């Protein structure tokens, strides 16, 4: 069976007139894939993932206009909500709903 190619998915955090927004709020990944969180706001953002098994560091900060790429650890299948606090607007970011990371198998 051929080995699955590891993917890089980009999640953009942008600032609107009232609130910050997470673009690509639903991310589907497998172990070994990478997620690049791109902060495009004028302030730092704090990200906290609900399960500390998904990444080596489940809580991290990204400075204004910077990126952080994390590798998905070997983890169980499931849905992993995460929260993004935007300092530029002093509130949590929105998506279509709460942003989530999905590990289907």
Q: What is the mean pLDDT of each run of 10 residues along the chain (105 residues)?
A: 79 91 90 96 95 90 97 88 93 79 86
Domain segments of the chain as ranges: 8-103
For β-strands 78-86 and 45-49, DSSP reports them as antiparallel
The pLDDT value recorded for residue 1 is 53
User: Is 0.85 surpassed by the pTM of this model?
Assistant: yes
Architecture of domain 8-103: Sandwich (2.60)
């Amino acid at each position: 069976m051929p080995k699955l190619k590891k993917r890089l998915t980009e999640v953009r955090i942008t600032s609107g007139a009232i609130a910050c927004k997470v673009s690509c709020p639903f991310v589907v990944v497998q172990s070994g894939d990478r997620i690049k969180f791109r902060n495009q706001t004028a302030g730092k953002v704090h990200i906290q993932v609900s399960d500390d098994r998904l990444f080596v560091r489940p809580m991290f900060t990204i400075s204004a206009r910077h990126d952080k790429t994390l590798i998905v650890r070997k983890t169980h299948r499931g849905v992993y909500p995460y929260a993004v606090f935007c300092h530029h607007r002093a509130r949590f970011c929105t998506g279509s709903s709460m942003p989530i990371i999905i590990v289907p198998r």
